[in-house]
Structure 1
Amino acid sequence: MPSDATHGARDRTLRVALCQCNLPVGDLDGNVNRIRVLIGRAVEQGADLTLFPELSVTGYPPEDLLLNPRFADAAAAGVRELARTVTDTVVIVGLPALREDLHNAAAVLADHAIVATYRKHFLPNYAVFDEQRYFASGDDALVIDLAGVRVGVTICEDLWYPGGPGQWAAIDGGAELIVNLSGSPYHRGKGLERERMLAQRAADYCCFIAFCNAVGGQDELVFDGHSLVIDPTGEVVARGAQFEEDLLVVDVDMVGASRRRLHDPRWRQSLDARHGRVRSVSVSRASRPRLTLAPRSASVSLLEPDAEVYRALTLGTADYFRKNGFQHAVLGLSGGIDSALALTVAADALGADAVTAVSMPSRYTADMNREDASTLAATLGVELMELPIGDLATAYDGALAGPFAGTEPNVAEVNLHARIRGNLLIALSNKFGWLVLTTGNKSEMSVGYATLYGDMAGGFAILKDVLKTWVYRLARWRNRDTEVIPIRIIDKPPTAELREHQLDTDSLPPYDTLDAILEAYVEDDRSPEDIEQLGVDSALVGRVVTMVDRAEYKRRQAPPGVRISTRAFGRDRRLPITNRYRSR
């Protein structure tokens, strides 16, 4: 990549392309090809530096695929193949790199070669992350001298701490731009949290930060994109789209970093903290005239909270289907709020033609609920199949009459209806290759208000991490422009309709109260005593906590679902099933 006089010796502007892309885990050949295409698009737009997300070659997170040596070898071979085609831009891609031990790494590609490799320093081992299971930590910083512009390389967690390789690159290595390859998953409010953190780092280091995040669904996780370029004052220069792929191309004028360092006395004081653990590599800039770049507005608004949660649910659902080869979804539609929202999300994510709803009325099903289910399906354009279960319930009752003789009816009889419905949905799945979507919410799963092998039977749980109060909130948000979900569904009292005149409040406290307890206990890990200080009755807190603790065996058998909270069941909140400890 020969030097170009057209840039001029004093040209301190670097054109950076952030390739915010959706790369499936394990699709090594497909990901390398996709990266190659995006590099071509970046070169067409005159990018001097082209960035990809963390572990972009393998997809993130690869989990125990990393324990297979052939997997890392194949990823490295893919990067070597990719490097041979790189010209006219400097490319940084993520991969697992083996050097004595396995590292979460970033490879710098230029002039048909891998010119340097950076190894992630801070390895997250909390919440949904377990990188210390797989990777060793790097011990230095990397700075690229790109025709006189110094660029520090970091990976995701490296910038979530005030010190470390980002600081080393800026202070010891003189980096004016810190790039960050990231696989940062979504939860409610995460985007704003990231912006604030990165703004603080940019201001502290007196440099620009280019944050390139992954986008897409991966099992329970959703990556929201929302890549960023932030200037040395902490202001957002450019913001990538949320929940969709984007190629963000930004001209970064390094004079801003130099000016900030002259004016900020903290910079001079920070020079005393230098430790010298910085590697440096020099690369040249492509020879071409500077293109005129259309201005990218930083004022692109962040989605409102309800909208971003809904987008996370649709993206997570769509990618679970697409990446696993499913073409069609089926779910039970009762006429209640949970199945109504689940169906609406599925139709929005997959398209109405790819979803079948099944109404399975029993003698306990109100006419109003059948009407509401029919209205919703018609509004969405979804096929509605009706399979009454009355005769099947009678047959089950007859088959069990002998063993149940002389006993009082209890949950065994009540749950038969849920299990019959589950059997019918699974039969349709087996027959037609459809994936069954369950419709239960996080409030129900928390306290075990769900039937194993009944309404829990399925392959993906859209609302698994959505509290009941958020179910109502999202339904109202979806209706903001036009009524999609019949208002009667939103307004009527929730019921499982497994027995005569049943309401959820027969077994559970009001959902506003229940969800407040669950947020405190499940998501915030607060003790029952702390929760009582919120003004909640002590006996009620104890009852809910006991229900949560006893339902772990059910949750362990639930299908995966989209994570939207800071503490989700499954990858996130992991407790033993056999457990004698009680919180009170």
Structure 2
Amino acid sequence: MDKLNIALIQINPTLGNFDYNLNKVLEVWRQVDGHSHIVIFPEFALSGFFPADLFFETDFLVNLKQTIQRLVKASENFNSTIIIGTPYFDRGLFNSALIVKKGTILAGYHKRCLDEAFNEGRYFQPGVKPLVINFNTFKIGVSIGWDCWKENGWFHFYNQMDVDLLINLGAFPYYQGSFKEREKVCQVLAQRFNAYVACVNLIGGQERWVFDGRSFVVDPYEETVTLLSGFEEDFCILSIDYDTILRKKLSNVQLKKEEPCEYCFFDEVFLEDRRRLLSFKGKIEAKFSEEEEVYKALVLALRDYVEKSGFKKVVLGLSGGIDSSLVACIAVDALGQDRVVGVFMPSPFTSKESKEDAMQLAQNLGIEFLEYPIDEVFEIFRKTFGYPEFDVADENLQARLRANILFYLSNKRGYLVLCTSNKSEAAVGYGTLYGDIAGGFAPIVDVYKTMVYRLAKYRNSLKPDIPERVLLKVPSAELRPGQTDYEVLPTYEILDQILELYLEKKASVNSIIEKGFEKSVVEKVLSMVKKAEFKRKQAPFGPKVTKTSMVADRIYPVF
């Protein structure tokens, strides 16, 4: 029986740290080499994601070239073939998958369908040739990203070549529903090719992006036969049985009526590895609930941003509200309680209950709790300017005083300030510029308020750190007596539905109204979204977890 052992390895590289990335690659490769024919690493495994204009720096390119040379040299000590994603200079810069064995680069596949979201066309040339690897009995195709799915990719070519296995390297950004989309695409490819499809994805956080891993293999019968962990490094080995492929191809021989692809040049490699290796069944990790998935993405994004940027601790304002409570939990789960500092900054309008809730949260989490009342400095400001009336300027002043305290602590102690603004608030501009929307990183900036509540309840199901009253009370900024969010906004249940239709589904004003929402409410909300663009352009970024992130995907003029 012919079989092929493939090792799927998802790692979390650090951008530009070539020594670290190479050592990580070699360390895991050693663990699987004796049991694998082919070892597969994801897109950007050597460089980290995403170098952007570092590609214009000579030192970066020289270090990258030297790292590739060191990898090739090290491969002399391994028996398996490695397929690894890395930028590669080959009479031009390409986003490539290098096939390396025993001290030689046997071939380089270059990504064809460059990703517009990362502006890859600014740096890379598109690939012009597909690659076929003839490995023992198996015919293998190689692709990167969506190269076998988009119109100008290699779907028709690999289908016509009748490949037995498609190996796809990816750096697929996470958002809600992205894994299901990726899995469905590969199931369709497996069905059309009558072949196995292996998709190896990056993991880690980098600025606005989170990569969830969850590398997988789909068999010719469209079943997911291997699924790696989500949001953490992982690897496994799977034995692919040629008889399974052959049976499926023979059963569909009359059904396959693919039009011949246009003639094109392609690269072809012939390899043999006749080692008789043990068989491995792979593994299937459990899938997540929607809340667990989003929460894990936020924890990974914050951890990687802090660690890769070199911050010792994070600091955030604790108001006794739901947003700051959730961000504090995310920070503790990402970094540990000793690296999180919560600051309570009451004003004359802060309720007794808010102080109790903030203190209880900090106690439950075991984090450092600081209290700096702003009453006195607030009154000094007001007396200095001498305006007798109390209005929105005085409300915003309180938020900006609090921001000053947080950034003073940041400056003094080297902490990263976490912004606790959510997507609903950011969308409609319900926040104070240089006040509560200020920070160095915004963990929940792409999380709708209704999801904030769901995540808080999910986190409490693991450990009830958020006081129950925080989940039940009417949301308020407490910047004046009796204030609630609903004086300015519709309920968050209504607001978020309107925003999701407008932002995620690109619905028009009329189509949203036709869904049953009041015309005046819809027009007000969408007007607020447009007018708040100037705030969002000056606000901190955070991880993308929805399909249309305000900070990663939306490019809109300031009105």
Structure 1-normalised TM-score? 0.92
In structure 2, the CA distance between the partners of 1:165 and 1:71, relative to structure 1 (3 Å rule), is farther
Corresponding position of 1:55 = 44
**Contact 2:446–2:545 (CA under 8 A) maintained in structure 1:** yes
Deviations 1:517-544 (A, max 9, x none): 1111222222211111111111111111
**Contact 2:316–2:341 (CA under 8 A) maintained in structure 1:** yes
Corresponding position of 2:241 = 253
CA distance in 2, matches of 1:538, 1:335: 34
Q: Equivalent pairs: percent with the same residue?
A: 38
* Pairing of 1:548-563 with structure 2 (within 5 A): 548-563=529-544
Corresponding position of 2:16 = 26
In structure 2, the CA distance between the partners of 1:60 and 1:90, relative to structure 1 (3 Å rule), is same
CA distance in 2, matches of 1:219, 1:464: 12
1:569 aligns with 2:550: yes
State the 1:354 CA deviation. Answer: 0.7
In structure 2, the CA distance between the partners of 1:13 and 1:379, relative to structure 1 (3 Å rule), is same
Corresponding position of 1:36 = 26
State the 1:124 CA deviation. Answer: 2.3
1:283 aligns with 2:271: yes
In structure 2, the CA distance between the partners of 1:95 and 1:225, relative to structure 1 (3 Å rule), is same
Match for residue 139 of structure 2 among 126, 140, 150: 150
CA distance in 2, matches of 1:108, 1:296: 23
CA distance in 1, matches of 2:112, 2:254: 25
Corresponding position of 1:545 = 526
Deviations 1:36-91 (A, max 9, x none): 112111214x1110011112111122222223344334323211220111130100
1:305 aligns with 2:290: yes
* Pairing of 1:418-497 with structure 2 (within 5 A): 418-497=399-478
**Contact 1:170–1:176 (CA under 8 A) maintained in structure 2:** no
How many residues in Structure 1 have an aligned counterpart in Structure 2?
557
CA distance in 1, matches of 2:41, 2:270: 20
1:501 aligns with 2:491: no
CA distance in 2, matches of 1:487, 1:61: 41
Corresponding position of 2:382 = 397
Match for residue 521 of structure 1 among 484, 490, 502: 502
* Pairing of 1:29-428 with structure 2 (within 5 A): 29-44=19-34, 46-86=35-75, 87-125=78-116, 128-161=117-150, 164-172=153-161, 174-265=162-253, 268-270=256-258, 272-273=260-261, 275-285=263-273, 288-291=275-278, 293=280, 295-298=281-284, 300-401=285-386, 404=387, 408-428=389-409
**Contact 1:187–1:564 (CA under 8 A) maintained in structure 2:** yes
* 3-state SS of 1:564 partner: coil
CA distance in 2, matches of 1:411, 1:363: 15
State the 1:137 CA deviation. Answer: 1.3
**Contact 2:159–2:258 (CA under 8 A) maintained in structure 1:** no
Look up the equivalent residue of 2:457 and give its one-letter code.
Answer: R
State the 1:264 CA deviation. Answer: 0.8
State the 1:288 CA deviation. Answer: 4.2
RMSD: 1.7
* 3-state SS of 1:171 partner: helix
In structure 2, the CA distance between the partners of 1:163 and 1:206, relative to structure 1 (3 Å rule), is farther
State the 1:564 CA deviation. Answer: 0.3
**Contact 1:123–1:132 (CA under 8 A) maintained in structure 2:** yes
CA distance in 2, matches of 1:271, 1:160: 16
* 3-state SS of 1:83 partner: helix
CA distance in 2, matches of 1:264, 1:340: 56
Look up the equivalent residue of 2:368 and give its one-letter code.
Answer: E
Deviations 1:151-192 (A, max 9, x none): 1111011133377324423422x4211101100010001111
* 3-state SS of 2:146 partner: helix
Look up the equivalent residue of 1:17 and give its one-letter code.
Answer: A
Deviations 1:112-157 (A, max 9, x none): 11110111111121xx332222222112210112223221111011
CA distance in 2, matches of 1:257, 1:129: 36
**Contact 1:205–1:267 (CA under 8 A) maintained in structure 2:** no
Q: Which moved more, 1:145-154 or 1:446-455?
A: 145-154
Corresponding position of 1:7 = none
**Contact 1:437–1:462 (CA under 8 A) maintained in structure 2:** yes
State the 1:508 CA deviation. Answer: 0.9
CA distance in 1, matches of 2:393, 2:192: 62
Look up the equivalent residue of 1:561 and give its one-letter code.
Answer: G
**Contact 2:544–2:552 (CA under 8 A) maintained in structure 1:** no
CA distance in 2, matches of 1:271, 1:544: 50
* 3-state SS of 1:438 partner: coil
* 3-state SS of 1:249 partner: strand
Corresponding position of 1:5 = none
Structure 2 unaligned residues grouped into runs of 5+: none
CA distance in 1, matches of 2:513, 2:179: 32
Deviations 1:292-321 (A, max 9, x none): 54x4333x3310111000000000010000
CA distance in 1, matches of 2:182, 2:552: 21
Look up the equivalent residue of 1:396 and give its one-letter code.
Answer: F
CA distance in 1, matches of 2:254, 2:354: 65
* 3-state SS of 2:483 partner: coil
CA distance in 2, matches of 1:170, 1:253: 19
Look up the equivalent residue of 1:291 and give its one-letter code.
Answer: L
State the 1:482 CA deviation. Answer: 4.2
State the 1:34 CA deviation. Answer: 1.4
CA distance in 2, matches of 1:149, 1:84: 27
* 3-state SS of 1:15 partner: strand
**Contact 1:170–1:207 (CA under 8 A) maintained in structure 2:** no
**Contact 1:72–1:96 (CA under 8 A) maintained in structure 2:** no
Structure 1 unaligned residues grouped into runs of 5+: 1-10, 580-584
